[in-house]
Structure 1
């Protein structure tokens, strides 16, 4: 679903909301996981206004990841293929929360993708990272998250660097999985990361230094 359609976009942002580990039913028209991404969508639309950036949301056919089916990743890859037919070889940044973060990481090897912003991403042990080579990846995780493990983000960032990605994990002090605590800071940081990865503005300084030095930045206080 397009939030902003640009006739000749130079770049694009696709947002992917969270979901469940299992669930074959389609998401409801209104669901909390999608609602969590609306403030991020509005912030990104505002930050990219006037820059020929297409902004859209990935629609899932099922509520869950569903094991080896990886349904959310299948839908994300389909959305990228459709975007390529619509707009050509635009540079894409993916922004995904929780299950959407896992899907964004899984499809980052697609030719269009240049960067990934994972918000409290679901990163199981041993998740593949080879597809992240030559991509720029920032994973943001609250230290009070009780749904997905912040250590999973750090592990993926570390292994992604070894695989040839510019990658780091930012730990947000006091942040929770729903991104309600310090909500404004989640929105501001995410918008800054997206604008930086698109090349519209400099990356936030701690992330820029982390990329240069091949490490994770200090905790966001």
Structure 2
């Protein structure tokens, strides 16, 4: 099961944005196609509102609720949380749910280190495989912040890696096909214990900073497996 977590806003009580859901659906469809023969199901999570809203962390709470619903409806199936922007932050926060075995955060929106009352949590990532993907030219969510979080997590949680998409922005459109292929490779490897493509396996195994600044190569996906 993949729970797809669209982007949101740092502070808002407004209803979820239809545009954010529309932007998430190409990734959801790509993952569903890639995992169809394995029985992969992709569910978008419909938030109560579009705002993270400080300590309420509403998007993460909604992701946790959705994981509970997966257990209630489907039983003991592994779950991968996949999110973009603030949805990526929600995926990382909610990764400690017992049903979750992996999380994919794409261009995760994270608070500035010197503005956060407490550091972003990483203990919940223990025992999960985690992939962060970030464009180096992202002007909305600072890629250096996702690197710092990954570096903190890597000290005690070894199954984490981070790929950099050079010259790409927040929407990761410039290298869209490679990003989708990377996401599919990670999700299928995490949920179905398939071997990861060589770059992903190398990134998971490499010490920092190598495995946390792995460049996404042009043409990734043309030959996914070793």
Instruction: State the TM-score, normalized to the length of structure 2.
Output: 0.87
2: distance between equivalents of 1:74 and 1:181? 32
1: distance between equivalents of 2:180 and 2:204? 21
2: distance between equivalents of 1:93 and 1:103? 12
1: distance between equivalents of 2:192 and 2:89? 24
Q: How does 1:123-134 map to 2 (within 5 A)?
A: 123-124=110-111, 125=113, 126-134=119-127
Please name the residue that 2:10 is paired with. Answer: 21
State the Cα deviation string for residues 117-149 of structure 1 (Å, max 9, x = none).
110011223211011011111100000100001
For the pair 1:104 / 2:91, whether they are aligned, the reply is: yes
1: distance between equivalents of 2:168 and 2:188? 22
Residue pair 2:83, 2:91 contacting (<8 A) in 1 also: yes
For the aligned residue pairs, the C-alpha RMSD in angstroms reads: 1.4
1: distance between equivalents of 2:40 and 2:175? 27
For the pair 1:220 / 2:213, whether they are aligned, the reply is: no
Instruction: Name which of 59, 75, 82 aligns with 2:46.
Output: 59
1: distance between equivalents of 2:106 and 2:148? 15
Is there any run of 5+ residues in structure 1 with no aligned partner, and where? 1-11
Over 3 Å off, 4+ runs: none
Alpha-carbon offset, residue 200 of structure 1 = 5.5
Residue pair 1:140, 1:169 contacting (<8 A) in 2 also: yes
Please name the residue that 1:176 is paired with. Answer: 169
SS in 1 for 2:108: coil
Please name the residue that 1:95 is paired with. Answer: 82
State the Cα deviation string for residues 139-198 of structure 1 (Å, max 9, x = none).
000001000011111111111112324111111112110122222222121111111212
Instruction: Name which of 187, 190, 205 aligns with 2:198.
Output: 205
2: distance between equivalents of 1:19 and 1:175? 20
1: distance between equivalents of 2:122 and 2:185? 24
2: distance between equivalents of 1:134 and 1:214? 17
Figure out how many residues of one structure are paired with residues of the other and give that number: 208
For the pair 1:163 / 2:167, whether they are aligned, the reply is: no
1: distance between equivalents of 2:96 and 2:43? 19
1: distance between equivalents of 2:189 and 2:58? 29
